[in-house]
C-alpha cells in the first residue's frame, strides 16, 4: 500500500497535467500604436485595439483537415494626418492634413480551416462604421488625457459616417523547412467590400522553435478540439514577413467628407502598390498563454503623405477549456 499510494498520486498528477494542456478556447487582446517604437510620432495609423475570442471546432481526424477554428472579434482603428494636432500658431490649419482624421469601429467573425499538409484558408466578415460614430475622436482624446500627451486638434475635419461591410480571405502554405529551426511559407490575403478592396502576398520566414502551421501562433491556431491530446507544444520563434500590397479602395482615406488642402487636385489619391515589412517574435507556453509582438514598417498609403509610417503591435491570448 505504501508503494501503491505514491504511484497512484503520480499517475493522477500526470493525468491532471495532460488534461491541463488540452485547450479548445481562447480570449485575448491586441494593441497597436506608433508610440511603441519610441520615435515620438503620432501619425497615420496611430492606434488600434482589438478583442478576440476563438473556439476550436471538431474535425475528422482521418481526413485532410488538421484543425478548425472559429473566431470573433471587435476592434477600433484610428488614423491621423502627419500629426494628431493640425494647430499652427494657435489656428487649426487644414493644409496640414495629408491623410484624413478617421476612425474605424467594427465587429467581425472568421473561420479558419487548417490542413495536415501545412496550409490554411481563413475567411472572415466585418460589419463596421467609419466617421464620428466610430468614436475615434473620443478614444484619442481619452488616451492623450490619461498619458499626459498634447490635446488632439483636427477631428472636426474627420470623414463622415459610413457603413462598412467587408469580406476577407487569407491563405498560407508551407514551402520549405530546414531541420527543426527554420522554415519558409507563402502568405497572402485579400479584402473585398464597401470599405476596403485590395490584397497582398509574400514569403514568411520563421526561425526558432515552432509548431506546424495547423497548430501555431503564426496562423492563430493554438487551440484545437481533439480530446485527450494537448493543444500544442511550446513555441519561441522570430519571424519576418515582407509583403507586396495592392490597394484599390480604402474608405478611411477616400471617405465622404475627407478634408485635404485645396492645392491637392485629387483628395486622398491612393498609392496602388505598397511595401510592408513585419518583424516579430512569438511565444507559446504550450498551455495557457501566447504572446506575439512585432513592428511593422509601411510605405505611404497616400501619395500626399509626407512620410511613410510604422507602428508596434502586441497580442496576448489566454487559453482555457
Predicted local confidence at residue 90, as pLDDT:
66
Could you give the percent of the chain with pLDDT greater than 70?
Answer: 86
- CA separation for the pair 272, 250 (Å, rounded): 11
Q: In the 8-state DSSP scheme, what is residue 161?
A: P
125 backbone dihedrals φ, ψ, rounded to 5°: -140, 135
Predicted local confidence at residue 241, as pLDDT:
98
Q: What is the pTM of this model?
A: 0.88
For the chain, the average pLDDT equals 87
The CA angle 201-206-207, to the nearest 5 degrees, is 155
pLDDT grade, residue 37 (50/70/90)?
Answer: confident
pLDDT grade, residue 6 (50/70/90)?
Answer: very low
pLDDT grade, residue 219 (50/70/90)?
Answer: very high
Query: What are the boundaries of each domain within the chain?
Result: 4-320
Question: Using an 8 Å Cβ cutoff, are 296 and 315 in contact?
Answer: no
- CA separation for the pair 192, 249 (Å, rounded): 9
Lowest mean pLDDT among 97-101, 106-110, 199-203, 275-279: 97-101
**pLDDT of 118 higher than 50:** yes
Predicted local confidence at residue 226, as pLDDT:
74
Instruction: Average the pLDDT over 83-105 and give the result.
Output: 82
Q: Collect all residues with Cβ–Cβ distance below 8 Å to 143 and sequence separation of at least 6.
A: 47, 149
Fold of 4-320: Lipocalin (2.40.128)
The number of CA neighbours under 13 Å toward the Cβ of 44 is 19
> Closest Cα partner for 282 from 219, 197, 224?
219
Amino acid at each position: 500500500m505504501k508503494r501503491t499510494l505514491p504511484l497512484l498520486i503520480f499517475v493522477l498528477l500526470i493525468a491532471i497535467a495532460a488534461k491541463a494542456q488540452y485547450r479548445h478556447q481562447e480570449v485575448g487582446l491586441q494593441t497597436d500604436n506608433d508610440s511603441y517604437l519610441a520615435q515620438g510620432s503620432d501619425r497615420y495609423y496611430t492606434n488600434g485595439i482589438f478583442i478576440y475570442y476563438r473556439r476550436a471546432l471538431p474535425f475528422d481526424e482521418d481526413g485532410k483537415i488538421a484543425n478548425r477554428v472559429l473566431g470573433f472579434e471587435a476592434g477600433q482603428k484610428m488614423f491621423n494626418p502627419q500629426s494628431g494636432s493640425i494647430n499652427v500658431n494657435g489656428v487649426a490649419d487644414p493644409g496640414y492634413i495629408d491623410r484624413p482624421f478617421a476612425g474605424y469601429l467594427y465587429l467581425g467573425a472568421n473561420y479558419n480551416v487548417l490542413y495536415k499538409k501545412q496550409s490554411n484558408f481563413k475567411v472572415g466578415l466585418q460589419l463596421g462604421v467609419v466617421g464620428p460614430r466610430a468614436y475615434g475622436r473620443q478614444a484619442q482624446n481619452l488616451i492623450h488625457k490619461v498619458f499626459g500627451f498634447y490635446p488632439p486638434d483636427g477631428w472636426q475635419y474627420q470623414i463622415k459616417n459610413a457603413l462598412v461591410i467587408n469580406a476577407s480571405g487569407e491563405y498560407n502554405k508551407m514551402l520549405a523547412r530546414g531541420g527543426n529551426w527554420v522554415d519558409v511559407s507563402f502568405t497572402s490575403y485579400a479584402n473585398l467590400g464597401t470599405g476596403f478592396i485590395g490584397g497582398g502576398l509574400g514569403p514568411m520566414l520563421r526561425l526558432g522553435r515552432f509548431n506546424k502551421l495547423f497548430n501555431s501562433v503564426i496562423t492563430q491556431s493554438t487551440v484545437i478540439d481533439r480530446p485527450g491530446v494537448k493543444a500544442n507544444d511550446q513555441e519561441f520563434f522570430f519571424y519576418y514577413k515582407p509583403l507586396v500590397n495592392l490597394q484599390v479602395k480604402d474608405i478611411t482615406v477616400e471617405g465622404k467628407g475627407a478634408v485635404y488642402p485645396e492645392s491637392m487636385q485629387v483628395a486622398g489619391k491612393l498609392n496602388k502598390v505598397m511595401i510592408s515589412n513585419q518583424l516579430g517574435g512569438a511565444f507559446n507556453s504550450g498551455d495557457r498563454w501566447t504572446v506575439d509582438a512585432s513592428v511593422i514598417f509601411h510605405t505611404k498609403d497616400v501619395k500626399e503623405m509626407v512620410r511613410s509610417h510604422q507602428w508596434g503591435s502586441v497580442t496576448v491570448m489566454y487559453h482555457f477549456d
